[in-house]
Amino acid sequence: MFRSESCSPLTVPKAIQQSTERTFSEYQLPDCGISCQIILNLQQEKKYFVRGVTCPGLGDFNSDGAFEKFPEPTCPGDSSLELSYTMYSAGSGRGIVFDRNSVPSNFNPDWKTLFVVHGWSNNADSSWMAVIKDRLLANYDANCVIVGWGGPGGAENLHYGESASTTRTVGAETAEVMMNLITNGGGDAGLMHCAGHSLGAHVCGHFGRWAAARGMKPDRCTGMDPAGPLFGPNTNRSVGLYKDCAQFVDIISTDWTAGSTPHPDEPALMLGHQNYFPNDGHDQPGCPLSTCSHSIAHDYFLESIGNDCFVARESCTATNDLPVRDPGFVIVKSDEGSCSSCGRDCGLMGYGASRSNSDGIYRLETVADAPYCLG
């Protein structure tokens, strides 16, 4: 049964004073939770007047074509966007803040580098990113970059659409940071991995696509319950995370009922090479609210570091064996499902996911409390 929450209207910001009118599509999301505020944002802020923006060092970001539903993004360097990069590495202790013009002294070019990116309403101080960093460096010789993009011009903007648009510029700037580590720090694109939660997953998408267009396609991108509104199933795949963004893209989908992607009845639009649906991708055990099911994706990723435990139980050639919701949002189950036990060929969800397993759709179960893995 779906839950409902009361929502109070938000103040609509002053329209950007440009001359080309753009209109947001209406999104009808089934749950309130985190999507309550998103719905209000998208329905109340329908009209933006944007041509695009030119960001120093990056170029033009136009609001047309695939991006016609998006408002003007915030450029790196704008005081309202609190964009930061902090490098940590195994055995080095303290983190070093750096940018696209510097290579931090604790960067080891021979190790894998994980960029960790938060989503909407978070910032660089979000505790879950620090915990992922600590666990990574305790288990591996690795580098870890904490990417912060908070502030009212970034992920802490109350108006979801504006934050969603800024994933473009943050992703591009993050790619420039990575490319400098390669060009001037001796790094290797084959050792670069971006893992993002919610809107952060789409930052990783733009990061990978920007670098790939410049001959430095990263090794891997991981989407932890990628955000759905403005990136949903009928959206041009170039606007966010998709399997062309890295050599290997894996997705952990925990809350598709609240608008996160991918949607299980759209098999052709799976975002990753490997797409994992713990507990059928919604209503995670121990989660009374949609917001919990959405955020638990990064807890699963955390637990997977140094732990080859989240082994999928079934492989699916299509998604119609997953519970889906009819137009009345009632759980239904198809009799034409094509999921079956995959044994040792099953993929591994989380940090240990490998391209050596077959591409496709995977199911697994978790328990309500940490440790979540069933083993």
pLDDT in tens, 135-171: 999 999 999 999 999 999 999 999 999 999 999 999 9
Dihedral sign computed on CA atoms, order 160, 161, 162, 165: positive
Instruction: Give the whole-angstrom CA distance, residue 70 versus residue 43.
Output: 13
Q: What is the pTM assigned to this prediction?
A: 0.84
Tokens standing for 344? Answer: 């040792």
Which tens digits make up the pLDDT trace of 206-260? 999 999 999 999 999 999 999 988 887 666 778 999 999 999 999 999 987 544 5
More confident residue, 121 or 262: 121
Q: Tell me, what's the pLDDT at 99? A: 98
Measured between alpha carbons, how far is 343 from 263 in angstroms, rounded to an integer?
25
Collapse the DSSP code of 90 into the 3-class scheme (helix H, G, I; strand E, B; otherwise coil) and give the result: coil
CA-derived radius of gyration, the chain: 20
Residue 330 has pLDDT above 50, yes or no: no
Q: Which amino acid is at 55?
A: C
51 confidence band (pLDDT: 50, 70, 90): low
Question: Which CATH number is 21-364's, of 3.40.50.1820, 3.30.70.20, 3.30.70.270, 1.10.730.10?
Answer: 3.40.50.1820
pLDDT of 374 reads 87
Q: Domain residues of the chain, as ranges?
A: 21-364
Q: Is the pLDDT of residue 296 over 90?
A: yes
Beta strand extents in 104-244 (DSSP E only): 112-117, 142-150, 192-197, 220-224
| CB distance 75 to 125 below 8 Å | no
CB 85 within 8 A of CB 137: no
Average pLDDT, the chain: 83
pLDDT at position 236, please? 76
- C-alpha torsion angle, residues 360, 119, 297, 37 (rounded to 10): -100
Upper half-sphere CA count for residue 288 (Cβ side, 13 Å): 2
